[in-house]
């Protein structure tokens, strides 16, 4: 047990996984006790840095078992510690169970305590992503930041700014997210906090991309790998390679982008972001086989989410990338299933504006391809997103095509000009 905790503190996550698994194997099928709960707590923290995002359900389950035990025996300190480590929600029914545990932990602490601040920070992440409840999330973050600044706790301030930036991003508040991310980056660099830094740089990278600020996007891409290497968390290392690769793709350097993308896939072979970026990269380069292979791998990941909420990253990215690949290459092997992914997101009970907006862009491309009668409704749905970039798609360009399909050539021309101006100003090339 001690060796596992030491490994976690030393960023040796795979080794920690071995130690905690060994303890649990030794315990066998005996009923829960303090030692088993402690091992599950350690295992959950180690798994959160090693397993892909789409396998985080196991992490939530292990931490949940530990929390329930500590709560049942009245060990408030350990119960709160476990709840504070529950990772960000990736999408799925287990999110609601984890959120209830966080809310229960808040009942166990004083309202103005540091522990309450940490729990409010974690809770806000769940409220904003899993529930789509932006106002409640912001209220939780305000409480967490108030406590962090009153107590001078920089680590909590960094964590909360990053959580808040993530929720702003998922709710399409890209300017606010970028501002918070840049503040968190500066604090994390000064505090030598690699996790806080790489998280903040990723949010800043994505929001800069959507807003067309290529200079800031490339600046973040050039700085994100070093803290990710120090952190040695697989998700964040893959994220760093993704940011660099995507940045190179938008500059038109497909050879280096492909090499960087492969480095990321070597870390996480089924990472949805890397797979969709690689598929579109290969499509642009004219390699149909590679583009289709990567799309099929992404579909395998998305299909694994079907028992969960429809509003998740693989579904949203497939909703966009399949019609986009068809647009570049012509009909692909995934033609018969592509509409299911957009529908799964758009019809989801979970209101995540970011995933919904990606799916709406993809559904619009699909409607154009099939000459759907619903083009007018797709045009109306996309208009609020004008002036933004979603992965490789300019929303203005998509609006231009929709307007042209509707016979409004003046509007189409204006949208195409906006798209051209946006890409020229941002430096996005292909």
The secondary element (H helix, E strand) that includes residue 109 is: none
Of residues 25, 54, 430, the one with CA closest to residue 251: 430
Q: For residues 121 and 381, which has the higher predicted lDDT (pLDDT)?
A: 121
What does pTM read for this prediction?
0.91
Question: In percent, how much of the chain has pLDDT > 90?
Answer: 59
Give the model's pLDDT for residue 138: 97
Beta-carbon-side half-sphere exposure of residue 294 (alpha carbons within 13 Å):
26
Beta bridge partners of 389: 394
CA distance 360 to 382: 7
pLDDT of residue 350: 61
In the chain, the percentage of residues whose pLDDT exceeds 70 is: 93
The helix (H) or strand (E) run that includes residue 393 is strand 393-394
> So what's the pLDDT on residue 169?
96
Residue 117 in this model has a pLDDT that exceeds 90: yes
Q: Which range (13-27, 176-190, 221-235, 309-323) has the least confidence?
A: 309-323
Q: Which of 197-211, 256-270, 352-366 is least confident?
A: 352-366
Is residue 95's pLDDT more than 80? no
Higher pLDDT, 263 or 299: 263
Q: What integer is the mean pLDDT of 343-372?
A: 80
What's the whole-number mean pLDDT along residues 407-425?
93
pLDDT of residue 105: 97
- How high is the pLDDT of residue 335? 46
Alpha-carbon gap, residue 225 to 112, rounded angstroms: 37
Taking a C-beta distance cutoff of 8 angstroms, is the pair 26, 4 a contact?
Answer: no
Position 25 pLDDT exceeds 90: no
The predicted-structure confidence for 245-264, as pLDDT tens digits, reads as follows 999 998 889 999 999 999 99
- In terms of Cα–Cα distance, which of 302, 256, 296 is closest to 279? 296
Checking if the pLDDT of 370 tops 90, the result is: no
What is the number of other CB atoms lying within 10 angstroms of the CB of residue 409? 11
Predicted local confidence at residue 265, as pLDDT: 97
The partner residues of 393 in beta bridges, in order of sequence, read 390
What is the pLDDT, as a whole number, of residue 31? Answer: 84
What's the helix, strand, coil split of the chain in %, to 5? Answer: 75, 0, 20
Give pLDDT tens digits for 303-342.
Answer: 776 545 667 778 888 888 888 888 777 765 554 555 577 7
C-alpha 25/C-alpha 41 separation (Å) is 15
Q: Tell me 425's DSSP state.
A: H
Confidence of residue 113 (pLDDT cuts 50, 70, 90): very high
Q: What is the mean pLDDT of the chain?
A: 89
Give the pLDDT band (50/70/90) at residue 51: confident
Coil/strand/helix, residue 394: strand
């Amino acid at each position: 047990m001690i060796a596992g905790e030491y490994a976690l503190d030393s960023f040796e996550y795979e080794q920690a996984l071995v130690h905690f698994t060994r303890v649990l194997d030794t315990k066998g099928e005996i009923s829960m006790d303090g030692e088993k709960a402690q091992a599950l707590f350690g295992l959950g923290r180690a798994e959160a840095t090693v397993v892909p995002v789409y396998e985080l359900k196991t992490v939530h389950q292990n931490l949940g078992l530990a929390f329930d035990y500590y709560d049942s025996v009245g060990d408030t300190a350990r119960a709160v510690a476990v709840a504070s480590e529950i990772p960000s929600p990736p999408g799925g029914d287990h999110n609601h169970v984890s959120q209830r545990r966080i809310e229960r932990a808040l009942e166990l602490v004083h309202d103005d305590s540091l522990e309450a601040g940490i729990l409010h920070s974690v809770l806000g992440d769940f409220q904003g992503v899993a529930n789509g409840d932006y106002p409640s999330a912001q209220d939780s973050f305000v409480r967490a930041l108030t406590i962090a600044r009153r107590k001078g706790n920089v680590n909590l301030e960094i964590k909360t700014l990053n959580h808040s930036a993530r929720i702003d991003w998922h709710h399409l508040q890209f300017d606010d997210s970028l501002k918070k991310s840049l503040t968190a980056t500066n604090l994390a660099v000064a505090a030598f906090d690699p996790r806080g830094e790489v998280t903040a740089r990723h949010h800043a990278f994505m929001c800069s991309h959507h807003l067309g600020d290529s200079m800031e996007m490339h600046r973040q891409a050039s700085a994100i790998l070093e803290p990710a290497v120090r952190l040695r968390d697989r998700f964040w290392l893959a994220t760093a390679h993704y940011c660099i690769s995507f940045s190179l793709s938008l500059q038109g350097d497909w050879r280096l982008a492909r090499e960087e993308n492969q480095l990321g896939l070597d870390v996480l072979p089924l990472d949805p972001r890397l797979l969709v970026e690689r598929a579109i990269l290969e499509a642009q380069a004219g390699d149909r086989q590679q583009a289709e292979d990567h799309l099929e791998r992404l579909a395998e990941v998305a299909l694994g989410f079907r028992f969960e909420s429809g509003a998740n990253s693989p579904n949203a990215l497939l909703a966009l990338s399949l019609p986009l690949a068809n647009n570049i290459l012509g009909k692909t092997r995934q033609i018969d299933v592509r509409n299911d992914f957009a529908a799964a997101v758009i019809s989801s009970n979970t209101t995540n504006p970011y995933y919904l907006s990606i799916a709406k862009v993809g559904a619009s491309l699909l409607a154009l391809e099939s000459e759907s009668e619903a083009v007018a409704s797709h045009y109306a749905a996309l208009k609020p997103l004008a002036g933004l970039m979603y992965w490789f798609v300019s929303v203005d360009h998509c609006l231009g095509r929709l307007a042209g399909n509707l016979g409004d050539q003046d509007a189409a021309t204006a949208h195409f000009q906006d798209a051209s101006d946006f890409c020229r100003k941002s430096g996005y090339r292909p």
